[in-house]
Each structure stands twice: as structure tokens, then as C-alpha cells.
């Protein structure tokens, strides 16, 4: 996530940093008028983000230990202790560049995997880890570096409230969180495309135009916190997880820090940098000693430290980047929409598709963005994130599915573009052939996950299903076979490590809960219990806070005590047990069993904070105990 050497920023430091930021923009305008930018060569590159997982496919918070073990300068931290990032070497865009990218990716992931293995962990490439739980997203799992802590403090201060996430997809997820760690749910495969200053506007607009269909072919993040949402849920989550806008700013349609953009670029990269300075406040600052105009006057190339730091805290899906290449400056477009995974081959295929479209469309006499509105490009992007290959895409005055657009027009376009820059023919066939088969079969990483979850149905617990999904993903990933060749993950009996899915209350509690409110009549509660064949019903207030518990025994006692007429107007509040004993989702299962046995409790509500999140009953414990006994007897026979 960029510069790490930052400090807590007071008002004076922020004002000084703003002055340096404005100085950088003025100096960049001057530098753009010189010949000190690298031209005549085009380079491509990538950044690989990864999840660290433990034996049970849960997040493994060992990034500092892995980095210490690996001792590889390409590897670095990300926001969470269970995230890892690798920065790949730039490649000249020709001949064997894609093959070299794939080779280096396999090599650096191998280095990370070997180091992780010594720390009891493994590497998984996926846009969002299916086994993540909200409890994993506390500040104790934030990477212990000043940048992340300061970023969290500043984002919280600007927002003035908890972060609110509402995503409606196949299912609906609504949650609030008191820090920025929701962003750590996302890992991506970011690709870089170098351009010269004079061609920046054209290439940036092309990147915006092709991002929708590019994403549709690559979606790999359909689940978040065990909810099936968008095909690329990363997009929705990132836009909401670092949204610093107060309600007043939302009401007046202020831009979020994560955004697609507002219109086509007309002339220069300066338009983006100026727009972002005007719209977005400084989040973090650093002491900057450089005088960029003096550096230019001496014939040098400025670092533009203030500009680069601020640019790293504005999250455009296609980001404009300034960098240095020896004694030359350069500009590049960083495409941030692609998810991590499903395999290294799939990722490089996605990159090849993007690079090929960019190279080909730049040769058109009339660029494609001249024949589509910016709103169409933006809608294409969000449609693709929601629906993947089935998304409707607008292209040159026509509307069609992403699948049709890619197969009939954009894949041939990308092939021509790669041929035009003389990428090796066998590599073109390998990477674009992977895209073609994936799109033709409709088997993106997201669709494979959704198909797998559908095949598992209601077998096992939710925790077992999502662990099975992650386990199959890791096994397939290590094979190197592209996702369109994978068999659907299936839950055929309990996996060998099934015990890992029953370690805590939150892993096997029931979350499909029926509740009533204190003011409801007893007859409603009694009928629900009868219809759903449950022996307890939980009572919550309008804010979702648990306030009581009503059991079938209480109903029986009430019937035994009084006449029917006396019960007609009785309310739940009159009969419920107030403030029942509760536990948190992280309580170990053995402690749950001991507590219920010692207290003679047959129903134990599970709460997180003051909100009801689940319930454990005698039936749940019988199921767990049966599995334990079966496993014990099976092991004894072997």
C-alpha cells in the first residue's frame, strides 16, 4: 500500500504537506514539457496480492514471520497480517514478456509458499477468502506498521462514524465495522501499462473503456463473510470499506475515495492529479525535503514524494502513476480491477487480454471511447462486477452480453494487438486460448465457486462448506490447471480435517433464527415454534438486541396454570426469561458443552457486541457429539 515511512499528522504538518503537494503539481507540469520522460519503449508489470491461510484454510496472521523467513525484496506487507504482496519486475512489452511474467509469478509465489510452510501456513490466490469471518477483521490483525494505523485513525476521523456496508447480490449482506480492516478482505492482481505523456489521455480512456468486459471475464470474488453477493464482490466492498464521506457529503453526492471516475480525460495526466487534490483531503503526510523545481533546473528528475503519497490514498480503479526509470521519469496506468487467482496462468491470461486490447485499440483511427459515453463505460464496469459474463455491455452503439462481446469482438482484437507488438505466437495462443475457453464455457472463478456451493446444498455446516470450497481451490491452484478445467467442489462425507470446523461456537451455531419482540402476543410465538418445530424462540428489540428467551416449557406451564381466555392478550414480555445467558462466537466448543451441561441449559444465544448472531441448542451439540463419536470409532478400527 505504498510509502511506509509516515508519521502522525498534525495541522501544521498537513499544511506543509499540502504546500509540497501543490509544488509537485506545478513542477510536474513543467517536467511534462521536457524530454525527460521515457519514450520509445513500453513496459508492463504486475503486483500480486495473496492470502496466508492455516491448515484449516482460515486466515493465518504470520506475514511478518513469512517475510523474515523469505528474505525476498519483492515481497512486502499489506493491510492485514494475513495478506502478502509481491512486486514483479517490469517487462518490455514484446516477444516473451508474458511468459517471463508467468515464470516470475510462479517463482515468487513459490518463495512465499515455502516461507509460509515453515510458519505453519500456505498461500491462496483468491479475490476474497471464503472462510473469512468478521472476527478476523479486528485491529489485532492489522499489520503493525505506522502507515496502516494512521490510515485507520484518519479515515475514522473523516467519516465520524462506523463504516457501513450494504451489498445486495444473490443474498444480502449488511454490516457495520469500526475500522478499515474490511478492506483486507480483498486481494488483487494489479497490472501496469507504461505510456508516454503525449499518449496518456488516449490510453487512459481506453483502459476505462475496456475495464468492464475485462472484469467480466476475470471475476473471482462471489462470496464475503459466507454470503453470496456480486460475481466480483471486491468492487462493492472496497468502495464501501474506505468510504470517508459523512452523511452530509453523501447527500450532496460527493465522490467516494474509491471510484471509477467522472468522465473521459481530455489532454493530460494533470487532469487526474488536480481533480484528486481538489476533491480528496490529505489522509496521511510525511516530511518532504525535496524542492522539485530546483531538481528540474539542475537537470534532475524529481521524486514527487508528496504527489505519489497522496495519489496512493485515492483509489481509482484505473490509477495514473508517476515513477522513475533510471535517469528518466515515466507514466503508467495501473489497472486495479483484476482479482487475485484462480491460478497464475489465469492471472497472466487476464493481463494478456488487457494488454492486447490496449495495444490494438490504440491503433484505431477513431478510438472506441469516441463512440460510447462515459456513463456506458461506467455501467459496463459495475454490470460486470455484479453479473460476470452474463452482464450486459454497451459497445459501439450495441448492447450484448459480456460473453458475446468478448468472444466475437474483443478476443480477436486482443490477439491482433499482441501480434502487433510481436508477442510470441505460442504465448498468444496459451493465454488468449485460456480466456477463450473460460468465456466459452462460462466458467470464471466466481461461477466455479457458485456452482460448487450450489452442488453442496445444505450438506454439512456453513463452515464445512466454505472450508471445502477453499480446500478445493487450493488443490486446483497448486495443480496449475486453469479454472475452466476444474471439477466442481463437492462435499462427499466430512473432510479429514472436519474437526477444524467445530472448534468454536461461531462455526456450528444456527444462524437461520426465528425471533419475536417483547410486545408480540404469546400466540404468535407459540405458532412459530409449532410451525418450525423448535423448542425455543429468541426475543429481540427493534435494534436487533437480544432481550429475552421463550421456551416451550414456559408455554406449557402457562397453559397448565390458567384458562384460555387469560392467555389471549398475554405478551411475550410477560413470559420470557429476561437477559438470558449468552456467549460470543469465539467461545471454544468444549467450553460451550461444559457450560450447557453445568447450567442445565438447552438453548444458548450467541451474541457479538450487543447483537444476536446465532444460537446453539441441544440438537446442535448432539450433532457435533455424534460426529466426534463416529470419528473416534472409525480411527479406533484403523
Q: Is residue 263 part of a domain?
A: yes
Nearest to 351 by CA among 52, 93, 73, 123: 93
Task: Report the CATH number that the domain containing residue 527 is assigned in CATH.
Answer: 3.10.580.10
Bridge partners of residue 193, in order along the sequence: 44, 333
Q: Is the pLDDT reported for residue 252 higher than 60?
A: no
Cα–Cα–Cα angle for 533, 536, 537, rounded to 5 degrees: 100
Q: What is the pLDDT of residues 610-627, one digit of tens each?
A: 788 889 988 888 877 776
* Least confident piece of the model among 318-327, 375-384, 401-410: 318-327
**294-303 burial, b if ≥16 CB within 10 A, otherwise e?**
ebbeeeebbb
Radius of gyration of the chain (CA): 27
Secondary structure class of 433 (helix, strand, coil): helix
Q: Is the pLDDT reported for residue 124 higher than 80?
A: yes
d(CA 115, CA 619): 43
Q: Is the pLDDT reported for residue 489 higher than 60?
A: yes
Q: Is residue 414 part of a domain?
A: no
Q: Is residue 515 part of a domain?
A: yes
Q: What is the mean pLDDT of residues 291-299?
A: 95
Residue matched to cell numbers 459515453: 373
Q: What pLDDT is recorded for position 117?
A: 98
Work out the pLDDT band at 508, boundaries 50, 70, 90.
Answer: confident
Q: What is the mean pLDDT of residues 291-307?
A: 95
Highest mean pLDDT of the ranges 158-162, 455-459, 565-569: 455-459
* Least confident piece of the model among 154-158, 248-252, 363-367, 527-531: 248-252
φ, ψ dihedrals at 580, nearest 5° = -65, 160
Are 544 and 513 in contact by the 8 Å Cβ rule? The answer is no
Q: Is the dihedral of CA 240, 244, 248, 249 positive or negative?
A: negative
Q: What pLDDT is recorded for position 241?
A: 80
Q: What is the pLDDT of residues 67-113, one digit of tens each?
A: 999 999 999 999 999 999 999 999 999 999 999 999 999 999 999 99
Q: Which of 325, 342, 359 is the last residue of a domain?
A: 342
Q: Is residue 313 part of a domain?
A: yes
In sequence order, the 6+-apart residues with CB closer than 8 A to the CB of 510 are 614, 615, 616, 617, 620
- 231 or 527: which carries more pLDDT confidence? 231
Q: Strands of 122-222 (E only): list them.
A: 122-124, 163-168, 172-177, 189-195
3-state secondary structure 370-417: HHCCHHHHHHHHHHHHHHHHHCEEEECCEEEEHHHHHHHHHHHHHHHH
d(CA 549, CA 544): 14
How many Cα atoms sit within 13 Å of 270 on the Cβ side?
16
Cα–Cα–Cα angle for 186, 190, 193, rounded to 5 degrees: 160
Q: Is the pLDDT reported for residue 636 higher than 70?
A: no
Q: Is residue 497 part of a domain?
A: no
Q: Is residue 412 part of a domain?
A: no
d(CA 587, CA 339): 33
Q: What pLDDT is recorded for position 159?
A: 78
* Least confident piece of the model among 112-116, 428-432, 497-501: 497-501
Using CA atoms, how far residue 93 sits from 41, 80, 195, 322, in Å, is 8, 33, 11, 18
d(CA 576, CA 15): 59
- 372 or 492: which carries more pLDDT confidence? 372
Cell of 142: 492489522
Q: Which of 291, 315, 342 is the last residue of a domain?
A: 342
d(CA 450, CA 77): 30
Highest mean pLDDT of the ranges 427-431, 550-554, 592-596: 427-431
* Least confident piece of the model among 111-115, 121-125, 163-167, 376-380: 163-167
Cα–Cα–Cα angle for 174, 175, 177, rounded to 5 degrees: 155
Cα–Cα–Cα angle for 113, 117, 119, rounded to 5 degrees: 120
Domain encompassing residue 524: 505-637
How many Cα atoms sit within 13 Å of 226 on the Cβ side?
17
Work out the pLDDT band at 247, boundaries 50, 70, 90.
Answer: low
Task: Report the CATH number that the domain containing residue 17 is assigned in CATH.
Answer: 3.30.590
Q: Is residue 409 part of a domain?
A: no
For the chain, the farthest-separated pair of C-alpha atoms sits apart, in whole angstroms, at 98
Q: What pLDDT is recorded for position 563?
A: 47
Are 52 and 121 in contact by the 8 Å Cβ rule? The answer is yes
* Least confident piece of the model among 150-159, 186-195, 361-370: 150-159
Q: Is the pLDDT reported for residue 562 higher than 80?
A: no
Nearest to 550 by CA among 538, 561, 540, 560: 538
Q: What pLDDT is recorded for position 246?
A: 53
Q: Is the pLDDT reported for residue 167 higher than 70?
A: yes
Helix ranges (H only) for 44-96 are: 63-70
CA dihedral 30→32→34→38, nearest 10 degrees, is 140
d(CA 147, CA 284): 8
d(CA 628, CA 503): 12
Q: Is the dihedral of CA 389, 394, 396, 401 positive or negative?
A: positive
Are 74 and 88 in contact by the 8 Å Cβ rule? The answer is yes
Q: Which of 320, 342, 364 is the last residue of a domain?
A: 342
* Least confident piece of the model among 25-39, 373-387, 467-481, 554-568: 554-568
Work out the pLDDT band at 265, boundaries 50, 70, 90.
Answer: very high
d(CA 616, CA 582): 10
Q: What's this model's pTM, rounded to 2 decimal places?
A: 0.88
Q: Strands of 286-348 (E only): list them.
A: 315-316, 318-325, 328-335
Structurally, how many domains does the chain consist of? Answer: 2
How many Cα atoms sit within 13 Å of 55 on the Cβ side?
10
Nearest to 320 by CA among 199, 466, 227: 199
Q: What pLDDT is recorded for position 557?
A: 79
Q: What is the pLDDT of residues 365-401, one digit of tens each?
A: 999 999 999 999 999 999 999 999 999 999 999 999 9
Work out the percent of the chain whose per-residue pLDDT is above 70: 92
Q: What is the pLDDT of residues 564-613, one digit of tens each?
A: 555 567 899 989 999 899 999 889 988 998 898 888 888 999 998 778 88
pLDDT averaged over every residue in the chain: 91
Secondary structure class of 110 (helix, strand, coil): helix
Nearest to 513 by CA among 531, 534, 530: 534
d(CA 550, CA 190): 53
Q: What pLDDT is recorded for position 3?
A: 47
Q: Is residue 19 part of a domain?
A: yes
Amino acid at each position: 500500500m505504498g510509502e511506509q515511512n509516515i508519521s502522525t499528522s498534525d495541522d501544521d504538518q498537513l499544511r506543509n504537506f499540502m504546500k509540497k503537494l501543490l509544488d509537485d503539481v506545478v513542477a510536474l507540469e513543467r517536467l511534462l514539457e521536457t524530454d525527460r520522460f521515457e519514450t520509445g519503449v513500453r513496459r508492463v508489470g504486475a503486483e500480486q496480492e495473496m492470502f496466508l491461510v492455516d491448515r484449516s484454510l482460515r486466515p493465518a496472521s504470520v506475514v511478518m514471520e513469512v517475510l523474515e523467513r523469505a528474505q525476498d525484496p519483492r515481497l512486502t506487507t499489506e493491510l492485514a497480517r494475513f495478506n502478502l504482496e509481491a512486486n514483479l519486475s517490469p517487462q518490455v512489452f514484446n516477444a516473451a514478456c508474458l511468459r517471463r511474467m508467468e515464470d516470475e509469478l510462479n517463482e515468487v509465489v513459490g518463495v512465499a509458499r515455502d516461507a509460509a510452510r515453515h510458519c505453519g501456513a500456505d498461500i491462496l490466490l483468491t479475490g476474497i477468502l471464503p472462510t473469512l469471518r468478521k472476527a478476523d477483521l479486528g485491529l489485532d490483525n492489522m499489520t503493525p506498521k505506522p502507515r496502516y494505523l494512521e490510515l485507520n485513525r484518519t479515515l475514522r476521523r473523516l467519516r465520524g462514524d462506523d463504516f457501513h456496508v450494504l451489498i445486495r447480490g444473490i443474498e444480502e449482506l449488511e454490516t457495520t465495522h469500526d475500522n478499515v480492516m474490511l478492506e483486507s478482505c480483498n486481494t488483487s492482481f494489479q497490472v501496469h501499462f507504461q505510456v508516454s505523456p503525449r499518449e496518456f489521455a488516449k490510453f487512459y480512456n481506453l483502459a476505462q473503456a475496456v475495464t468492464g468486459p475485462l472484469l467480466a471475464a476475470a471475476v473471482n470474488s462471489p462470496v464475503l463473510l459466507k454470503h453470496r453477493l456480486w460475481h466480483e464482490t471486491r468492487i462493492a466492498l472496497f468502495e464501501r470499506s474506505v468510504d470517508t464521506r459523512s452523511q452530509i457529503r453523501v447527500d450532496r453526492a460527493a465522490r467516494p475515495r474509491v471510484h471509477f471516475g467522472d468522465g473521459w480525460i481530455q489532454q493530460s495526466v494533470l487532469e487526474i492529479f488536480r481533480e484528486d487534490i481538489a476533491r480528496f483531503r490529505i489522509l496521511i503526510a510525511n516530511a518532504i525535503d525535496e524542492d522539485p523545481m530546483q531538481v528540474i533546473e539542475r537537470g534532475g528528475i524529481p521524486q514527487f514524494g508528496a504527489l505519489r503519497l497522496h495519489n496512493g490514498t485515492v483509489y481509482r480503479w484505473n490509477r495514473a502513476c508517476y515513477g522513475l526509470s533510471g535517469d528518466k521519469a515515466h507514466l503508467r496506468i495501473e489497472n486495479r480491477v483484476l482479482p487475485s487467482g484462480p491460478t497464475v496462468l489465469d492471472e497472466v491470461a487476464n493481463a494478456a487480454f488487457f494488454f492486447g486490447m490496449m495495444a490494438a485499440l490504440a491503433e484505431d483511427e477513431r478510438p472506441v471511447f469516441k463512440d460510447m459515453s462515459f456513463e456506458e463505460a461506467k455501467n459496463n464496469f459495475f454490470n460486470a462486477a455484479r453479473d460476470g459474463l452474463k452482464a450486459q455491455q454497451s459497445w459501439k452503439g450495441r448492447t450484448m452480453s459480456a460473453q458475446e462481446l468478448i468472444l466475437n469482438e474483443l478476443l480477436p482484437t486482443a490477439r491482433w494487438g499482441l501480434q502487433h507488438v510481436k508477442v510470441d505466437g505460442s504465448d498468444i495462443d496459451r493465454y488468449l486460448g485460456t480466456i477463450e475457453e473460460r468465456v466459452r464455457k462460462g466458467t470464471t472463478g466466481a461461477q466455479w465457486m457458485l456452482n460448487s456451493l450450489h452442488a453442496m446444498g445444505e450438506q454439512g455446516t456453513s463452515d464445512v462448506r466454505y472450508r471445502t470450497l477453499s480446500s478445493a481451490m487450493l488443490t486446483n491452484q497448486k495443480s496449475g490447471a486453469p479454472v475452466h478445467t476444474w471439477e466442481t467442489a463437492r462435499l462427499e462425507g466430512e473432510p479429514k480435517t472436519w474437526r477444524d470446523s467445530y472448534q468454536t461456537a461461531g462455526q456450528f451455531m444456527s444462524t437461520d433464527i426465528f425471533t419475536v419482540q417483547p410486545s408480540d402476543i404469546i400466540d404468535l410465538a407459540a405458532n412459530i415454534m409449532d410451525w418450525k418445530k423448535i423448542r425455543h424462540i429468541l426475543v429481540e428489540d427493534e435494534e436487533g438486541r437480544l432481550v429475552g428467551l421463550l421456551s416451550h416449557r414456559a408455554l406449557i406451564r402457562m397453559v397448565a396454570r390458567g384458562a384460555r381466555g387469560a392467555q389471549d392478550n398475554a405478551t411475550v414480555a410477560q413470559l420470557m426469561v429476561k437477559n438470558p445467558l449468552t456467549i460470543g462466537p469465539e467461545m471454544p466448543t468444549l467450553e460451550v458443552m461444559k457450560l450447557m451441561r453445568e447450567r442445565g441449559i438447552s438453548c444458548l444465544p450467541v451474541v457479538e457486541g450487543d447483537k444476536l448472531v446465532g444460537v446453539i441448542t441441544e440438537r446442535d451439540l448432539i450433532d457435533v457429539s455424534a460426529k466426534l463419536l463416529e470419528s473416534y470409532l472409525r480411527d479406533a478400527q484403523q
